[in-house]
């Protein structure tokens, strides 16, 4: 997700020209190749989404286990954020991006031979590690490679590459699983081919950061006292929005298959793609016009999305499920970008990385832990009741955030 994107760019030390004597592409060409590499890496993180039902049939595991497999991705991301969040500022963008691509390739290679649960979980952890390493470094690299005074365009391209890749992953694998042979192999073979192409581009990119001695530093979660109220507001809305993202990514295929009796992988991929596309639209098109009302509007959209999802699950309606995906996706995008902007605006310059890393830890806990809870509840009370209960909990979180925002406005 945009993860520690703006941070890495702010904390980097870009120089005017490439710092390596090896052959290098022009900056303009390298810019678009890095953006493509960003999209391909993020595509791999959601590639297995519409295939979970096929893995369930082949390996015989439950909906709960499918949520655990999905949550393993967040373990990898959190590990990368804590240990490698600022590594590209030290060793350079290219030296960080290449291991990120290697992790993505390893993940797809593991999935190619995944015939048991440990391999599926290993593939997801590797995917999370690659995304956690790649996201901040790729956005920082795009800012470095952009023309002077084009930082806003670079951030926009990073958002499109990030969310576009996340949305394209399930759409691609769903279509391949539906229309081509070997549904549990071909998507990963295609992804490995894509990675080979973009790795060549990253290998030839000019380095804009003076590389120093590698060192492992742990990013400690910390929030300055003077901004804890703002952090609390952003975290509540962010937690709710990323929990929704996790639900659609992890459980939407099960909702479609078990409750609506629509088990086509292409349809599952399209529904998940819709959520990410709506999130990108919310981030790009709605946050700036909404201004200070963005967080409240995002909360309202999340609550409306959960109401639509409750109705869709209760009535078995694909139309309402798609409406929920669009509405909740818009709310997720707006609350995420508005919350990150609010935190960055108030965080002291010397603690910006720590504060944002703490925020992303909250978000990636949200994307994993609640969906495992849904899986556990599904074992006890059924998938429909578990999904409806989740929607009610998210709606209450959104309502709580709205009340906190209004209280804060009155106090000002």
At 231-290, the pLDDT tens digits run 988 899 999 999 999 999 988 988 999 899 998 999 999 999 999 999 999 999 999 899
- Report pLDDT for 14: 43
pLDDT band per the 50, 70, 90 thresholds, residue 25? confident
Instruction: Say how many Å lie between the first and final Cα of the chain, rounded.
Output: 32
Task: Give yes or no on whether 1-217 and 220-412 have one common fold.
Answer: yes
pLDDT band per the 50, 70, 90 thresholds, residue 215? low
- Report pLDDT for 216: 62
Q: Which residue has the higher pLDDT, 79 or 2?
A: 79
pLDDT exceeds cutoff 70 at 7: no
- Report pLDDT for 12: 40
Q: Give me the residues paired with residue 14 across strands.
A: 209
pLDDT exceeds cutoff 60 at 158: yes
Encoded tokens for 336: 């995420």
Mean pLDDT of the chain: 87
- Report pLDDT for 103: 96
**200-211 pLDDT, tens digit each:** 999 999 887 776
pLDDT band per the 50, 70, 90 thresholds, residue 5? very low
Domain boundaries, the chain: 1-217, 220-412
- Residue pointed to by tokens 């989404």: 49
- Report pLDDT for 194: 97
Per the rule left: phi > 0, alpha: psi between -120 and 50, beta: everything else, 22 is: beta
Q: Give me the residues paired with residue 398 across strands.
A: none
CATH entry 3.20.20.70 includes domain 220-412: no
pLDDT exceeds cutoff 60 at 105: yes
Give percent of the chain above pLDDT 90.
57
C-alpha–C-alpha distance, residues 278 and 280, integer Å: 5
Q: Which residue has the higher pLDDT, 110 or 146?
A: 110
The DSSP H or E segment spanning 364 is helix 352-366
pLDDT exceeds cutoff 60 at 21: yes
**319-364 pLDDT, tens digit each:** 999 999 999 999 999 999 898 888 878 888 667 767 877 888 899 8
* Rounded average pLDDT over 161-187: 94
C-alpha–C-alpha distance, residues 98 and 198, integer Å: 10
pLDDT exceeds cutoff 50 at 18: no
pLDDT band per the 50, 70, 90 thresholds, residue 19? very low
Specify whether the CB–CB gap between 355 and 222 falls below 8 A. yes
CA-only gyration radius of the chain, Å = 20
pLDDT exceeds cutoff 90 at 48: yes
pLDDT exceeds cutoff 70 at 375: yes
pLDDT exceeds cutoff 70 at 55: yes
- Report pLDDT for 263: 86
Assigned fold of 1-217:
Growth Hormone; Chain: A; (1.20.1250)
């Amino acid at each position: 997700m945009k993860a520690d994107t703006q941070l890495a760019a702010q904390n980097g030390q870009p120089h005017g020209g490439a710092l390596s004597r090896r052959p290098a592409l022009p900056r303009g060409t390298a810019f678009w190749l890095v953006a493509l590499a960003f999209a391909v890496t993020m595509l791999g993180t959601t590639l297995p989404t519409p295939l979970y039902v096929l893995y369930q049939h082949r390996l015989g595991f439950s909906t709960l286990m499918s949520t655990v497999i999905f949550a393993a991705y967040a373990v990898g991301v959190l590990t990368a954020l804590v240990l490698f969040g600022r590594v590209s500022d030290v060793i350079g963008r290219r030296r960080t991006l290449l291991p990120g691509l290697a992790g993505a390739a390893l993940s797809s290679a593991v999935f190619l031979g995944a015939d048991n649960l440990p391999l599926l979980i290993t593939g997801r952890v590797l995917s999370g590690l690659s995304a956690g390493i790649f996201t901040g470094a790729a956005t920082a690299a795009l800012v470095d490679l952009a023309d002077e005074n084009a930082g806003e365009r670079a951030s926009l391209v990073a958002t499109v590459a990030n969310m576009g890749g996340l949305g394209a992953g399930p759409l691609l694998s769903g279509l391949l699983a539906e229309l081509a042979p070997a549904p549990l192999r071909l998507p990963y073979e295609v992804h490995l081919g894509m990675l080979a192409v973009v790795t060549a581009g990253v290998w030839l990119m000019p380095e804009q950061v003076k590389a120093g001695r590698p060192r492992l530093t742990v990013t400690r979660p910390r929030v300055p006292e003077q901004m804890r109220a703002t952090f609390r507001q952003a975290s509540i809305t962010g937690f709710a929005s990323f929990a929704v993202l996790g639900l659609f990514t992890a459980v939407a295929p099960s909702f479609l298959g078990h409750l609506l009796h629509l088990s086509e992988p292409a349809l599952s991929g399209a529904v998940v793609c819709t959520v990410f596309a709506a999130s990108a639209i919310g981030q790009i098109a709605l946050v700036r016009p909404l201004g200070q009302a963005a967080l409240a509007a995002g909360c309202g959209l999340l609550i409306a999305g959960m109401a639509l999802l409750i109705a869709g699950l209760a009535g078995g309606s694909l139309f309402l499920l798609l409406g929920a995906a669009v509405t909740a996706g818009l709310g997720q995008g707006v609350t995420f970008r508005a919350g990150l902007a609010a935190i960055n605006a108030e965080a002291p310059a010397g603690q910006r990385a720590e504060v944002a890393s703490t925020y992303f830890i909250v978000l990636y806990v949200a994307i994993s832990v609640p969906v495992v809870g849904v899986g556990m509840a599904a074992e006890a009370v059924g998938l429909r009741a578990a999904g409806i209960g989740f929607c009610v909990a998210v709606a209450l979180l959104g309502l709580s955030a709205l009340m906190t925002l209004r209280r804060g406005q009155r106090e000002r």
